[in-house]
Amino acid sequence: MSDETRKLEYELMLDAPAEAVWRAIATGEGIRQWFAPVAEIDARLGGAITVGWGPGMEGSAPLTVYEEGVRLGWTWDHGARGQRVLEFTLESVGGKTKLRMVQSGFGADASFDNEYESTNGGWRTFLACLRYYVEAMRNAPGRHECRMAMMQVDATALWERLTAEMGLAQQDWTPGTPYRALIPGGGVISGIVVDSPKPCYAVLRCDELGGSLLGLFCEKCGGASALTTSWYLYGPGLEEGAPLLADWNRYFDGLTGAGTTAA
C-alpha cells in the first residue's frame, strides 16, 4: 500500500452564530440532530466521542484536537488500513459562521476508492443536514430515527428501485425544487429538495412534519450496498411523524428483507 494519502475538505458559510454551530458539533444532543442517532461526547482534549447507527455500526474515538468554541477533532483507528483524522474549525464572520471540516488518512491506491467516495457522499449529506439544523431548527426539540441495511445489490440499482417506488424516478434533484413522494403502502410527504450532493444521496424537507427532514442514501460498501434512511424529526414532527414513520418502517422492512437494524 502506498504511503501517500488523500483527504476530504469542506467549507460552509452558515447563517448561524458560532455558539450554535459549536453546540451542534460538540455536544451529544447537538450531534444527534444532524449526524448519528446515538452520540455522546466527553468534550475535552483526551476525551472521547461515541457515535452509532445501530448494532454493528457503533464506535468510539479519542478527541485529539480540542479548543473550546473553535476547533474539535478526533482520530478513528482502522487497524491495518490506517487512521482517519477528522477536524472541524469554526470562525465567526459578521454574525455568521465559517465551518471548515477536513478528514484525512485515506490511502491513495484503488483499494480505498469506495471508502473515499462513500465517505464523501455521506459527509456532504450530513453537512447539508447540519446547515439546515443550525439555520432553521436549532431552537426546536428534535429526534433522529435511523434505519440501515446491507444489501447484495448494486447501489445505483437500489437507488433506482427506491425512488421509483416512492414516485421520484423523474425527480429534479436540484436544491429548492418541489417534490411529492409516496411511502409505498402508506402516506405522502412533500416539500422541497434541501440537497442532493451526488447521485444516490438526497435530503428532503417534509412540510407535513413541520419542516422535518428525510435523508436517503445508497452507497457501495465492499461488494454490497448500504441503504441508510434518516428521519430528523423537529418540533411538531416529533408527534405528527409517528404514523408516517410506522408506514416507512413497514416499507423499509419489506424492501430490505430480514436482518435489518433500527436505531
Determine the pLDDT at residue 25. 97
Strands (E) in 58-176, as ranges, are 58-67, 71-77, 83-93, 96-107, 142-151
Determine the pLDDT at residue 19. 97
Q: Are 194 and 204 in contact (CB under 8 A)?
A: yes
- Joined together, the cell numbers standing for residue 178 give 418541489
Determine the pLDDT at residue 60. 93
3-state secondary structure at position 160: helix
Displacement of CA 104 from its chain's centroid (Å): 18
Reported CATH class of domain 5-137: alpha beta
Residue carrying the nine cell digits 434533484: 173
Strands lying side by side in the sheet with 38-41: 5-14, 96-107, 83-93, 71-77, 58-67, 48-52, 38-41
Determine the pLDDT at residue 3. 55
- Joined together, the cell numbers standing for residue 53 give 447507527
pTM, two decimals, is: 0.92
Amino acid at position 231, single letter:
W
Determine the pLDDT at residue 259. 41
Could you write out the DSSP letters of every residue in 133-148? IIIIITTS-EEEEEEE
Domains of the chain by residue range: 5-137, 142-262
Q: Are 36 and 52 in contact (CB under 8 A)?
A: yes
Determine the pLDDT at residue 224. 86
pLDDT, one tens digit for every residue, the chain (263 residues): 345 789 999 999 999 999 999 999 999 999 999 999 999 999 999 999 999 987 777 899 999 999 999 999 999 887 877 779 999 999 999 999 999 999 998 989 998 888 899 899 999 999 999 999 999 999 999 999 999 999 999 999 999 999 999 999 999 999 999 999 999 999 999 999 999 999 999 999 999 999 999 999 999 887 789 999 999 999 999 999 999 999 999 999 999 984 433 33
Domains 5-137 and 142-262 share a fold: yes
Displacement of CA 119 from its chain's centroid (Å): 10
CA distance 91 to 115: 29
Determine the pLDDT at residue 23. 98
Find out if CATH 3.30.530.20 is the number for domain 142-262. Answer: yes
Determine the pLDDT at residue 66. 97
Other beta carbons less than 10 A from residue 38's beta carbon: 17
- Joined together, the cell numbers standing for residue 191 give 416539500
Determine the pLDDT at residue 263. 38
Q: Are 179 and 170 in contact (CB under 8 A)?
A: no
